[in-house]
Structure 1
Amino acid sequence: YNKSNISLVRTLKTKNGEKIVEVFKSPIIDISGEVIGIVCTMRDVTEVKNQEAKIKKMAYTDSLTGLANRRGLYNYVESQLVKKYADVTIMFMDLDNFKSLNDSFGHQHGDRILIEFGEDLQTICKNGFVSRIGGDEFVIVWEGKMNKELATEMAEKILNLLSGKKRKFNKLSASIGIVTGNTEEDTIDNFLTKGDLALYKAKDQGKNQYVFYNRDLDKKRCLNEEIEQDLRNALDKDELELHYQPQYTCSKELVGLEALLRWNNDKYRKVPIVDIINIMEKSTLIDEIGKFIIKSAFSFAKKINNNREKKVIVSVNISAVQIMKHNFVRTIKKIIDETGVEPNTVGIEITETVLLQNIGENILKIKELKDIGIKISLDDFGTGYSSFSYLVKIPLSNIKIDKSFIWGMKDSEEYRTLVKLCIDTAHALNLKVVAEGVETVEDLGLLKYMKADFIQGYLFSKPLPKHIIEATVLQ
């Protein structure tokens, strides 16, 4: 006989339904130490167990959609798949531009979209485990490794769901990352990391598409992390400097200089500077390095314009991350005070995509800067939404026609027409026009004929270090 106490939980069927009881058994032992009987007590724990089950369900369930949440996803993979060392196919997705939908139509409308999208995912992905792991992020897990054709078909079904055929989704789209693997070889955290890499690659390629994970994405991530770490030390090591590309009139009279960041590090000399800036924008580095760029350019503007009769405008490019900061205007004004530069000798260049992040608030910030004399340029005009209404709404000084339009003029009548239209429209609104990427005498001749105001490109000068600018260009 077992002389220890025993506690058991049992389910009993009664005429009123099932009851959950806790059974506690304790032996009766005589003076000689022999078990001569058992005392058994029962306690109804139905309500307690039901509450425990409810709390557990709440812990693993998304309260809005009723789908599994992040904890529920982890629990499913670890309890159902890891023990089997199962092959899996996982799709990671989030809804493109969902924040804009929330801002435009309200969070209640956004919540309804999430609920309906979750329901439709369950219908389409009948054999999959569907979860919402946060915001507009969904993850679907299938046991078994799908072939590429089947996974592609499933991803396209999901994208078609959002393609506008269903009016309720307001023409939303999704970016999807697809990962296959085995739970013996990878943890759920590794799957999530790989899925995020594939998903963000889909976003970088234009959204509304799917990307399969591959090892090259991991190499890219490792390189980006290495670049970010080395960038953090670049200022202290004095590796960052500005080059300046001159802007001229068509008769080669100097009017401005555009400041361009250069990183003097041989390890990354083959990495495009635009990729480095993207890494800065995705981290906090853009704050520190952005201030370094503005302060260096403004100091240079102060230096070169001292005792100069015809002032030269030194301009810097501003990213969406910078202009979205609540203290952006205050930061610019503080740097002007610190450097002592005249505001009418500096400029900022912004793109349409920067403005669209929060167009109303950004226009107010730009207006405040223009009111103190700073020149405002709309950069890369023609590559974004290219709405001429921006030229009316935004307090601009000039527009910069993107180099792809200039390069297209030689072989395309359509490009020549578009460039002429941009120039004529800008002039009608009393705006100056800068043509970027001018590399040939033929380009210059066409732009002279179209009455472009300023020229920037390798025909006249490539970007140069400031000591060469001072020694040659400014002379």
Structure 2
Amino acid sequence: MIKAMKFHFEKLINRIAEADNQEKIKENETILMLSMLGLMLLLAAVISGIIGTYWQERLIMVVIVTGCLFCCGLFMMLLIRMKQDTRLKTHLMSMALLLGLLATFVAYYQRVTIIFWMIFLIMIIMSNMMIQRTLFYYMLIAGILFFPVSLLYYPIASIQIDDAFNLALVAVLSCIIVASIVTNRIYQQILIKKSAIYADTVSQKEDLNQLYDDVVAHQQQLKAQNELLFLYNTQIEANQERLEFLAYTDTLTGMPNRKMILEQIDLMIDLNKENPHHFALVFIDLDNFKKINDSMGHGAGDLLLQQVTARLRKTMDDKDLLGRLGGDELAILIRRQISDEKILGYTQELLNLLGNPFRLDDKAAIITASFGIAIWPVDASTSGDLLKAADTAMYKAKAMGKNCVQFYRKEMKTEVLYKMELENQLIEAFEKEMFFVEYQPIVDVADQKKAGFEALLRWEAPDRGLVSPAEFIPMAEEIGLIGELGEWVLRQACEKIREVREQYDIDIHIAVNVSAVQMKRPDFLAGVKAVIRETGTPPERLTFEITESVFIGNMAQAIEIIRDLKDFGVMISLDDFGTGYSSLSYLLQLPIDVLKIDRSFIAQIEKEEKNNRIIGSIIEMVHGLGIQVVAEGVEEIPQFDFLKDKHCDWIQGYLMSRPLGDVAMAEYLLQQRDKD
């Protein structure tokens, strides 16, 4: 209870100290005085009952005085809760206090004269704690009235010092101490607040001084800026020439940019209009530059471009102009009139020069480039057309295997247009779902009733008919569509496995081709697993056919992806074995389940003894590694007999079946089941 009272008084004192206007101060100090005086009157009621009984006063007198004091104290406590005007509360509080004092005066004045006036003194002191003077005036007037009355009715007062007197004296002294403590706390809080206000004032004054200093400093700075304005204007004029230079310069390499190259071509055309002299434009594109950016970062790519241009400049003729068209595309304007043979020899020398390794962040990088050459005015009459012709020749160089030089020929334009049209049709075919899948059986040599299938993507273009996968698959890889196509084929295969199971109660195994480009995509594994889970396909019913190109570049990463697929349940088959760089020792490192011997070996069976021995050795050695063998491209019975004799596990080819559509595949499966 004492803690609660202390918390209540502390709260009221803090409110008084923190109040920001007089009305709030008056309201809170009135509540504080009501709390203190109410407690004092309740305490006085208790003490009155004790000393009245002790002095054996009349019972009716003790009850009246004690009751009066208790009611006055209780009334003050109730006033705290009442929602009345602060001034009215103060008047009611003063009246209740006077009533309590009057009761004490009438009952005990003769016995405790000194204590009575001490109580009166306490009330006057406490009334001075308030901003409002109402209580003080009440106490002052009461004191003026009580004094003559006491002289009139009690001219001679005696002091009876006994236990009751001592109790009353202790109570009064306690009230004096409490009142002094409360008064001290109030003024302490007020002093703290005023100190904080003073500190804020000092801080604000310092801020104002700092602001004034800042204003003065800004004025001085403005003056200095005004003085420099003329100088800046002069510098702007000087920088105008610099800006014009930058408008024609590539910031990374410091070479002329596309705009300057085209303007220089236009200038050459204007100079040679009346007396035409041939000049050449060489379009250069760095092969596989994106791989440098992806594997080593764009910083390494920028450094490579700087080193390439620096190396070319050292070897080029001073009369020629080297520029950067953008990205990894460069151009050389050969302004000299030289023969096509010399141009070819000159550009071939530059091409060979780029074949030497570059150092990028302590790592060696080897790149190649494709060169396309166009001659003015033979191949084009304007700068834009000349650039397009050289660009077309460069793409032809890329199509021929990259790392070579090609002169522009008019038929190239037709080829480029054909390729562009085919690319557009390929994208449209994917968007409109114009692809379909055929399934070619892969038959068990020992038990020809058992067969799996290979899913083969087909595309029938509206004006072209069936387009060879050898033509559109590389194109899909080049334009970034192979990932979506590969995922679509996988989904078709998974749905086919489920469809056959549901309709014919037959469990089939399907092999799906996965390209190196598709497998190197960051989202490859997540996409594959998502499709298999969504279709509810058992992973062990799938085989992914990969080629050796998957392992070129980052073999460790490729092996890690394959192991992840195998852990998931998918089988792995190495396709086209014998056409790349694989060796039997190389196979020891590859976590594969099946090896497919390329059709070029199968076609030579029974024609070359050396070829037969190679195939036999491959089958025997691969079996020794625990890997199954599939022979693809089997079209003749002697080929089948030879492979069976060599214990080849599976065969695939037209001898057993052509690729089958959905209906033909269903018939094939039913025939195989009927044979059982």
TM-score for both structures, normalised by structure 1:
0.78
Secondary structure of 1:404's counterpart equals helix
CA contact (8 A) 2:256 2:324 kept: yes
Residue from 444, 458, 462 that aligns with 1:262 = 458
Once residues 357 and 472 of structure 2 are traced to their aligned partners in structure 1, the CA distance between those partners, rounded to angstroms, is: 39
Residue from 243, 247, 251 that aligns with 1:55 = 243
Q: CA offset at residue 389 of structure 1?
A: 5.8
CA contact (8 A) 1:287 1:322 kept: yes
Q: CA offset at residue 257 of structure 1?
A: 0.7
Residue from 277, 284, 301 that aligns with 1:93 = 284
Secondary structure of 2:643's counterpart equals helix
User: In the alignment, which residue of structure 2 is the partner of 1:152?
Assistant: 344
Aligned residues: 434
Distance 1:189 1:120, change over 3 A: same
User: In the alignment, which residue of structure 2 is the partner of 1:129?
Assistant: 321
Secondary structure of 1:264's counterpart equals strand
Residue from 442, 465, 468 that aligns with 1:247 = 442
CA contact (8 A) 1:88 1:183 kept: no
Q: Does 1:234 align with 2:429?
A: yes
Once residues 417 and 587 of structure 2 are traced to their aligned partners in structure 1, the CA distance between those partners, rounded to angstroms, is: 41
Once residues 387 and 46 of structure 1 are traced to their aligned partners in structure 2, the CA distance between those partners, rounded to angstroms, is: 72
TM-superposition CA deviations, 1:372-430 (whole Å, max 9, x none): 21121122222233255653444322122221222244444443344344333432322
Once residues 97 and 147 of structure 1 are traced to their aligned partners in structure 2, the CA distance between those partners, rounded to angstroms, is: 31
TM-superposition CA deviations, 1:138-173 (whole Å, max 9, x none): 211123675432222122212332455999986643
CA contact (8 A) 1:177 1:210 kept: yes
Q: CA offset at residue 474 of structure 1?
A: 4.8
Q: Does 1:297 align with 2:488?
A: no
Q: CA offset at residue 328 of structure 1?
A: 1.7
CA contact (8 A) 1:378 1:398 kept: yes
CA contact (8 A) 2:458 2:467 kept: no
Residue from 368, 377, 391 that aligns with 1:173 = 368
Could you say which structure has the larger radius of gyration?
2
User: In the alignment, which residue of structure 1 is the partner of 2:415?
Assistant: 220
CA contact (8 A) 2:351 2:369 kept: yes
Secondary structure of 1:226's counterpart equals helix
Secondary structure of 2:325's counterpart equals strand
User: In the alignment, which residue of structure 2 is the partner of 1:204?
Assistant: 399
Residue from 386, 391, 408 that aligns with 1:191 = 386
User: In the alignment, which residue of structure 1 is the partner of 2:510?
Assistant: 314
User: In the alignment, which residue of structure 2 is the partner of 1:67?
Assistant: 255
Q: CA offset at residue 300 of structure 1?
A: 0.8
Q: Which amino acid aligns with 2:663?
A: H
TM-superposition CA deviations, 1:209-251 (whole Å, max 9, x none): 2122223332222223333333344357663211111111224
TM-score for both structures, normalised by structure 2:
0.57
Distance 1:472 1:104, change over 3 A: closer
Distance 1:450 1:148, change over 3 A: farther
Q: Does 1:370 align with 2:566?
A: yes
Distance 1:97 1:262, change over 3 A: closer
Q: Does 1:324 align with 2:516?
A: no
Secondary structure of 1:194's counterpart equals helix
CA contact (8 A) 1:246 1:254 kept: no
CA contact (8 A) 1:245 1:259 kept: yes
Once residues 408 and 198 of structure 1 are traced to their aligned partners in structure 2, the CA distance between those partners, rounded to angstroms, is: 38
Distance 1:361 1:81, change over 3 A: farther
Secondary structure of 2:463's counterpart equals helix
User: In the alignment, which residue of structure 2 is the partner of 1:469?
Assistant: 665
TM-superposition CA deviations, 1:239-298 (whole Å, max 9, x none): 321111111122434332111122234522264232122232233543443333221111
Bigger helix fraction: 2
Distance 1:172 1:414, change over 3 A: farther
Once residues 142 and 307 of structure 1 are traced to their aligned partners in structure 2, the CA distance between those partners, rounded to angstroms, is: 69
Q: CA offset at residue 69 of structure 1?
A: 2.9
Distance 1:462 1:119, change over 3 A: same
Structure with higher RCO (Cα < 8 A, 6+ apart): 1
Q: Which amino acid aligns with 2:257?
A: N
Q: Which amino acid aligns with 2:391?
A: D
User: In the alignment, which residue of structure 2 is the partner of 1:9?
Assistant: none
Deviation larger for 165-174 or 110-119: 165-174
Q: Does 1:430 align with 2:626?
A: yes
Distance 1:338 1:385, change over 3 A: same
Once residues 242 and 313 of structure 2 are traced to their aligned partners in structure 1, the CA distance between those partners, rounded to angstroms, is: 22
User: In the alignment, which residue of structure 1 is the partner of 2:472?
Assistant: 276
Q: CA offset at residue 313 of structure 1?
A: 1.5
CA contact (8 A) 1:145 1:181 kept: no
Once residues 262 and 289 of structure 1 are traced to their aligned partners in structure 2, the CA distance between those partners, rounded to angstroms, is: 11
Deviation larger for 229-238 or 317-326: 229-238
CA contact (8 A) 2:510 2:543 kept: yes
Once residues 80 and 45 of structure 1 are traced to their aligned partners in structure 2, the CA distance between those partners, rounded to angstroms, is: 36
Once residues 413 and 98 of structure 1 are traced to their aligned partners in structure 2, the CA distance between those partners, rounded to angstroms, is: 45
Once residues 403 and 463 of structure 1 are traced to their aligned partners in structure 2, the CA distance between those partners, rounded to angstroms, is: 16
Distance 1:382 1:204, change over 3 A: farther
CA contact (8 A) 2:605 2:611 kept: yes
User: In the alignment, which residue of structure 1 is the partner of 2:537?
Assistant: 341
Distance 1:92 1:384, change over 3 A: farther
Q: Does 1:141 align with 2:333?
A: yes
Q: CA offset at residue 189 of structure 1?
A: 4.1
Distance 1:411 1:191, change over 3 A: farther
Q: Which amino acid aligns with 2:254?
A: G
TM-superposition CA deviations, 1:321-367 (whole Å, max 9, x none): 42233222222222223322211112221222234355444433332
Secondary structure of 1:464's counterpart equals coil
**CA-atom RMSD, angstroms?**
3.6
Once residues 135 and 239 of structure 1 are traced to their aligned partners in structure 2, the CA distance between those partners, rounded to angstroms, is: 34
Q: Which amino acid aligns with 2:409?
A: N
Once residues 449 and 469 of structure 1 are traced to their aligned partners in structure 2, the CA distance between those partners, rounded to angstroms, is: 29
Q: Does 1:458 align with 2:654?
A: yes
Distance 1:185 1:170, change over 3 A: closer
Deviation larger for 79-88 or 245-254: 79-88
Distance 1:145 1:393, change over 3 A: farther
CA contact (8 A) 1:320 1:357 kept: no
Once residues 272 and 394 of structure 2 are traced to their aligned partners in structure 1, the CA distance between those partners, rounded to angstroms, is: 27
TM-superposition CA deviations, 1:18-67 (whole Å, max 9, x none): xxxxxxxxxxxxxxxxxxxxxxxx99977444423333333333344432
User: In the alignment, which residue of structure 2 is the partner of 1:4?
Assistant: none
Q: CA offset at residue 455 of structure 1?
A: 0.9
Percent identity over paired residues: 34
CA contact (8 A) 2:284 2:331 kept: yes
Distance 1:384 1:191, change over 3 A: farther
Bigger strand fraction: 1
User: In the alignment, which residue of structure 1 is the partner of 2:612?
Assistant: 416
Once residues 285 and 178 of structure 1 are traced to their aligned partners in structure 2, the CA distance between those partners, rounded to angstroms, is: 30
Q: CA offset at residue 461 of structure 1?
A: 1.6
Once residues 379 and 667 of structure 2 are traced to their aligned partners in structure 1, the CA distance between those partners, rounded to angstroms, is: 65
Secondary structure of 2:639's counterpart equals helix
Deviation larger for 242-251 or 352-361: 352-361
Secondary structure of 2:369's counterpart equals strand
Structure 2: tracts of 5 or more residues without a match: 1-229, 672-676
